[in-house]
Every structure is written in structure tokens, then in C-alpha cells.
Amino acid sequence: MIRLLAATVCLLLLGSESQASDVVLRMIRAYGGTNEVLPPVVILNAEKSGDLGSASVTVEFDVSSSAIPNVYARIIHCTADWTPDEGSFLTDVNNRTTVIDWKLAPERSNYSRYRGMFTLPNQQTSIRFSGNWLVRIHDVETDSLLGETRFFAVDTRATIRMNFMSDFYEPRYRVSGTAYTIETLVQDVTARLLTTNLHTVVLYRNHRWFDPFIASERLRSVRNPGVIGADVLGMVQGGKIFRLSRIPAQNEYRVLDLTNPGRFPSTGQPIPIGLSDIRRNGMFTERADDGAMISRAVAGANDEFIPIEFLLDPTPGRASPEDIFVSGSFNNWRPDRNWMMYFDEEKRLYRLRQWIRRGRHNYLYAGGRLSADSDEALDITYEEFEGNTAMANNTFIAFAYYRELDYGGYDGIVAVGLGTMYGNK
């Protein structure tokens, strides 16, 4: 591991001619502490960390570059719906870090050359406020944004209890209409938080930090996907209840395990996943990893990206009327144009070739539409090829937001909890 300050890199570049940067970010992720299966949650009052949060988060990012890149990471405080705060107290432009541990990819690697890793907070950055935080990686040479990830900071002042109930919704395709209603009870023994300032609860399926379900008294413009309903029930049972209804159960994740170089050798040629994937109609045979990527079993000599060909058989039937994407832990469950499949008329298969980092990944096939403006996948549904089943045991994580009045006002997180339809994992 090489510890290198950006200032040192700048010194090495003095005297050379200015040239355009060739840095390209390939992948970025954040996780709790040093455990890649933990959610990226920092507990600010460490004595109340429990089993869910950590004292820090780790950020990893892989880049293609001709030399160790000259980058910095800036952290930005956001509202409950991830809108960056504009107040100078909350979003300090100097709250950034250049202390990054760099790791060199195997010599044969030509898709990604370096991996940067750092923890937050560190000697250069502080997390003074609870709430949502963006981590943005910038190229020093051009100040361009290379990529971003998310983490949460919690000042534990209340408790959360999640109650799951069976529900139904109207699916877009002919699959099971099984859904959940999740009631999140936020309790504060002092009762000081149980006012209109305790305004929002946001749910996420574990590790899918770009797919929030929001119940709020303040965020009136927020729309949940599909037919999901949201209500705030007010003061009940010594707490405040936030209800989200008609959340599709979805399905257990598919698993792509690239840890074995014998099965997936580093030839530089696209390797098919094997037999083409098929519709599951709600059935599955293997438990997944709750949406996480697990790379700890990968030896350093094989720690690289390899080209993989995803194959999906839509039989019975023809090509979908929707755009089809691959969504998983390798792209932060956030598919875009680069992860859209094409239908091979000759082979009657959907196909996609992409570079995937070695590790054990979870993924699903998603239907939706490609945005012409942002190249993002919109109106995502997993019904057509994955089905929907109550047997899926995905963990939901809930965050409770309180409108703090200091520093011009901001959305702080005062409680975090998790649960599944079948109890805690």
C-alpha cells in the first residue's frame, strides 16, 4: 500500500507540461468500518453504536490512469432527499481529504490500474453533523467530478422499531402481487423529538442507497416509485409512526461469484456467465448476500476487473417492450446506458458485455426506460424476469430525520434500525 498526499503528487508534476487528465473512475463504493457487508453508517455518539453503525466508513474507488492519479474527495451534507445543503457551515468547501491509500492492480490489468481507499472521518475531514453525506471524487488537474457515493451519519437520540405486515399491489406483469406495509415507530423517552421537527423516515433495501422509500411531513415534492403509499400517523404509543405501504416483495438476488480464476480466467476475452439466465417467476435456489459485494476471498494477484457477458433468455415470449438493464452490487444498484442489454435477434437472447470487479456479486434484471437526458434507467421494475415472492428475505434499513435548528437548519438523523419480514438477520 502506498500512502500519498495529493500535494506530493503535485510536486512530482512541477516542470512538466500541462496536459489533459486521463483519469477515469470505474467503480466506487462505501461500507461500514472495515467490513464490506455493513451499511455505510457512522454513529457519531459511539457509545450507542450497537450492531448496525460503525465509528467510520471506508470508501473504495477504482480508476484507470497512466499514473497514480491526483485526486481529492470532498464530503457534502444533504437533506433527507439527497439535495446538497447550501449553507457554508454545513457544506464546508475545505472539508475534503487527499490522504488516500493506493493499491496497484495486477500488471496485466488494463481496465483499472489503481484502487484508492480512505476512511471517514480522518485527520483531514470531520463529520460534525448527522444526516446524509455525499462523497465526491474530483480530479485535481481539471477539478472535474469523477464519481460519488453516499454514507449516513447518525446522532442516536431515539429508537426505531419496524413492523412488517403482508400487503398486495397491482404488478405491471403477471406475477405475484405480494407486497409489504412497513410501519416504523420512532420513540424518544424524553418526548422532546416527537414534534413536527421529527418529519421523515426513509427506508432502503440494504446496499441499494439510490432507491429510497420516503414517508414525510415536510418533503411534499417526493414521489415514491410505482403505487407505493406513504403516511405519517402522528403520535401513537409514545412515539411517531411512519407508514409505507404496497412495497413489492421483489425476489432474492441472483449471485455472480467471480472469485475463482479457474472458472473465470483473466484472458481479456468476454466470459459468458454460463448457461443463459431465465425468468424466475418468483422462484430461487440460492440465498444471496443481501445486495452486498464481497471481495475478501480474492487474492491480490487476481484482484482486477474481468470482462463478463450476461445472457438472458426471455423465452417464452419475444423481446420485452421495455429497456432491459443489469442492476447489481457491481454498479451500486444504479444502472444506466452502460448497463443496458441488447436483444440479439439471431440467438434470441439479451446480451451485455461489461467489466466486473472480482468478487461475489448480487444482481437482478430490471425493466425500465433509458432517459435521453441523463442516460439513467428510469421507472425500474424487476417483475418481468425476476417475479415477486414473499420468500425473499431482503433487509430494510430505516433512518429517522429530525429538523435541527442550528446552523440555519438541517436534516439530522436521530435513529436507525433494520428488519425483515421474517425478523432481524
pLDDT per residue over 309-340, tens digit each?
999 999 877 899 999 999 999 999 999 999 99
Radius of gyration of the chain from its Cα atoms, rounded to whole angstroms? 22
Spell out a b/e string for 284-308, using b for 16 or more CB atoms within 10 Å of the CB, else e: beeebbbbbbbbeebeeebbbbbbb
Length of the chain: 425
pLDDT of 15 higher than 50: no
Per-residue confidence band for 20, with pLDDT thresholds at 50, 70 and 90: low
Which helix (H) or strand (E) segment is 11 a member of?
helix 6-13
- Report the SS3 class of residue 315: coil
| Distance in angstroms between the alpha carbons of the first and the last residue of the chain | 34
Q: What letter represents residue 56's amino acid?
A: S
Q: Could you tell me if 62 and 27 are in contact, meaning their C-beta atoms sit under 8 angstroms apart?
A: yes
Give me the pLDDT at residue 24, please.
96
Residue-averaged pLDDT of the chain: 90
Per-residue confidence band for 283, with pLDDT thresholds at 50, 70 and 90: confident
CA dist 346 and 349 (Å) reads 8
Q: When comparing pLDDT for 327 and 238, which is higher?
A: 327
Please spell the DSSP secondary structure of 184-203, one letter per residue: EEEE-TT-SS-STTEEEEEE
Strands 271-272 and 305-312: parallel
Widest CA span of the chain, in angstroms? 69
Cell of 344: 440479439
- Average pLDDT of the residues in 193-220: 93
Percent of the chain with pLDDT over 70: 93
pLDDT of 2 higher than 80: no
Give me the pLDDT at residue 223, please.
86
Q: Over the stretch 335-365, which tens digit does the pLDDT of each residue have?
A: 999 999 999 999 999 999 999 999 999 999 9
Q: Over the stretch 60-73, which tens digit does the pLDDT of each residue have?
A: 999 999 999 999 99
Helices (H), 114-210: none
- Average pLDDT of the residues in 396-420: 95
CA dist 324 and 370 (Å) reads 9
Measured at the CA of 80, the angle between CA 59 and CA 420, to 5 degrees, comes to 75
Per-residue confidence band for 170, with pLDDT thresholds at 50, 70 and 90: very high
Domains of the chain, each with CATH number or no CATH: 2-154 (2.60.40), 159-250+391-419 (2.60.40), 254-386 (2.60.40)
Q: Over the stretch 113-132, which tens digit does the pLDDT of each residue have?
A: 999 999 999 999 999 999 99
pLDDT of 192 higher than 60: yes
pLDDT of 251 higher than 70: yes
Give me the pLDDT at residue 235, please.
80
Would you call 204 exposed, middle or buried from its count of C-beta atoms within 10 A (0-12, 13-18, 19+)? buried
- Report the SS3 class of residue 115: strand
Give me the pLDDT at residue 14, please.
33
Strands 410-419 and 239-248: unpaired
CA dist 246 and 172 (Å) reads 13
pLDDT of 290 higher than 50: yes
Give me the pLDDT at residue 3, please.
42
Would you call 114 exposed, middle or buried from its count of C-beta atoms within 10 A (0-12, 13-18, 19+)? buried
Give me the pLDDT at residue 49, please.
55
Q: The whole model's pTM is what?
A: 0.92
- Average pLDDT of the residues in 247-274: 94
Q: Could you tell me if 24 and 61 are in contact, meaning their C-beta atoms sit under 8 angstroms apart?
A: no
